[in-house]
């Protein structure tokens, strides 16, 4: 009976392992920084008016900020765009979207359409509030194949939670040269002020050493000349599944339950295994003890007293 129960536990362990393997994401969210990579400029995309457009049309020979996102994102994409708007509004009036540089908000959700993009553009350009921005700030969508090609080029990976129809994705923006090559990645949500660059410290005029820094505006100016590089802080903040009940982001509960179930089964299986070993040991001791007991059961060789 105990052996049959142990076999049942083994079957449960195998089933649990298979369920986790099936539920594991095919794509792990993250960013593989690719400086100097040429984007596919002539790939077919759609703008916020559902007109055909290409990245070449959007960049239009100017340094450009690329924002990978999706318009239905409940939280982090909005935060990225809002903080970008604040950083751009802090720039001089003579350095604006549509004038000296352009911006592309690119949806990595192939199921989104121009209606989603149009609504997002109306709000965002309105918050930016500078004339000419509507000509230089583009909100794009694309087919599954087109989206995959662009995302692969910039090293951006997003994971779709099919149960909740939401994405786990990194947050940040990418600067492009007028030729459509990646020049710098900004990670997280803060794009204002100075940002440290990767590399060794530079000796100052007063003899002190300082980590070189840049700003979003300076990086755009450098991108105009094809210059760029890596920033020091590459903290990738992922956008986890949105908890609609608590209005916030949480870990994937299903995976936690699966992991807990596996741990429980492992503990139970270990207990059953120990019990089987004890049973076998007890049986072996009984067998060893049986001959000696039988030898004392009979009468003495001398006959009855």
pLDDT tens digits for range 107-145: 999 999 999 999 999 999 999 999 999 999 999 999 999
How would residue 72 be classed by pLDDT, with cut points 50, 70 and 90?
very high
Separation CA 224–CA 220 (nearest Å): 6
Summarised one tens digit per residue, pLDDT across range 268-297 is 666 666 766 777 776 666 666 655 545 555
- In the structure, how many helices (H) and strands (E) does the chain have? 8, 18
290 alpha carbon, distance to own chain's centre: 65
Asked whether the beta carbons of 124 and 85 are under 8 A apart, the reply is: yes
Instruction: Between 298 and 249, name the one with better pLDDT.
Output: 298
pLDDT band with cut points at 50, 70 and 90 for residue 12: low
Helices (H), the chain: 2-23, 55-59, 76-89, 114-128, 133-136, 144-154, 216-224, 253-297
> Longest C-alpha distance within the chain, in Å?
126
Residue 21 has pLDDT above 50, yes or no: no
* Residues comprising the chain, all counted: 305
Average confidence score pLDDT of the chain: 80
Q: What is the pLDDT of residue 305?
A: 43
The confidence score (pLDDT) of residue 248 equals 40
231/164: higher pLDDT = 164
pTM value > 0.75: no
The percent of residues in the chain predicted with pLDDT above 90, rounded, is 51
Per-residue pLDDT at 200: 73
**Residue bearing the bigger pLDDT, 263 or 182:** 182
In angstroms, the CA 40 to CA 66 distance is: 13
pLDDT digits over 249-270, tens only? Answer: 344 444 444 556 667 666 766 6
Q: Are 244 and 35 in contact (CB under 8 A)?
A: no
């Amino acid at each position: 009976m105990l052996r049959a129960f142990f076999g049942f536990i083994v079957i449960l362990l195998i089933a649990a392992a298979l369920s986790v393997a099936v539920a594991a994401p095919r794509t792990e969210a993250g960013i593989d920084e690719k400086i100097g990579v040429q984007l596919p400029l002539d790939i077919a995309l759609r703008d916020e008016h559902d007109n055909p457009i290409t990245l070449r049309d959007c960049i239009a020979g100017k340094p450009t900020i690329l924002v990978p996102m999706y318009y239905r994102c409940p939280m982090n994409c909005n935060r990225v765009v809002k903080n970008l708007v604040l950083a751009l509004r802090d720039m001089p009036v003579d350095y604006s979207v549509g004038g000296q540089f352009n911006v592309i908000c690119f949806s990595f959700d192939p199921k989104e359409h121009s209606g989603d993009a149009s609504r997002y553009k109306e709000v965002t350009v309105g918050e930016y509030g500078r004339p000419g921005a509507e000509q230089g700030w583009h909100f794009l969508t694309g087919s599954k194949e087109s989206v995959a090609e662009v995302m692969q080029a910039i090293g951006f990976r997003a994971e779709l939670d099919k149960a909740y129809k939401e994405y786990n994705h990194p947050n940040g923006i990418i600067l492009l040269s007028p030729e459509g090559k990646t020049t710098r990645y900004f990670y997280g949500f803060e794009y204002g002020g100075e940002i440290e660059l990767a590399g060794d410290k530079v000796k100052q005029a007063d003899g002190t050493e300082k980590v070189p820094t840049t700003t979003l505006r300076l990086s755009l100016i450098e991108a105009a000349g094809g210059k760029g590089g890596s920033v020091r802080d590459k903290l990738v903040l992922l956008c986890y599944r949105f908890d609609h009940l608590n209005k916030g982001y949480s870990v994937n509960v299903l995976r936690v339950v699966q992991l807990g179930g596996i741990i429980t089964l492992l503990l139970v299986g270990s207990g059953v295994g120990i019990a089987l070993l004890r049973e076998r040991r007890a049986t072996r001791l009984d067998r060893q003890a049986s001959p000696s007991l039988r030898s004392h059961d009979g009468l003495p060789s001398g006959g009855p007293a």
